[in-house]
Amino acid sequence: MKDNIKIGIIICDRYRMCAGGKCLRALKNKEGAFSIYNETQVELVGYVTCGGCPGGNVEYAPGEMVKNGAQVIHLATGLIVGYPPCPYIKFFRDFIKTGYGIDVVFGTHPIPQKYYNIHAKLKTWDSPEWKNIIQPTLTDEKTRLSYD
């Protein structure tokens, strides 16, 4: 392993009861958006919801994560695959980067195939901007199926 990095995860409040199983599995296996840490040991220092629309917790939670050493915040895959996808996700990224001076990554675990299929039919992610947002979590079909 090359380095150590500390991360925080912010999930969509619609999934506030989520135990984090897919995110934690992907973190352990370095899949989805966590594949960027291939040679790095990762420590999770925070896991919280956005606080509900329009994401009031995003104003404060990253600060707590930074106090715990977070160097990167991941905006969870649920913000991307929920319907509708989070309309504030780009604002969250910009606010965290500007306000706390740390990197922000779109996504955590790979997009589950069932969500990939429905969003493909709905053309949710057809714009160049959304194609960029889903890129870190867009894996091969076999991996997506394993996250259904």
Domains of the chain: 3-146 (3.40.50)
d(CA 71, CA 90): 19
**Whole-number pLDDT of residue 2:** 62
Quote the percentage of the chain above a pLDDT of 70.
99
pLDDT(1) > 60 = no
For residue 47, the one-letter residue type is Y
User: Could you read off the pLDDT of 77-94 as tens digits, one per residue?
Assistant: 999 999 999 999 999 999
pLDDT(13) > 60 = yes
Average pLDDT of the segment spanning 10-34: 95
With cut-offs at 50, 70 and 90, classify the pLDDT of residue 107: very high
Average pLDDT of the segment spanning 123-133: 96
Give this prediction's pTM: 0.95
> Would strands 103-106 and 3-11 be described as parallel, antiparallel, or unpaired?
unpaired
CB 107 within 8 A of CB 32: yes
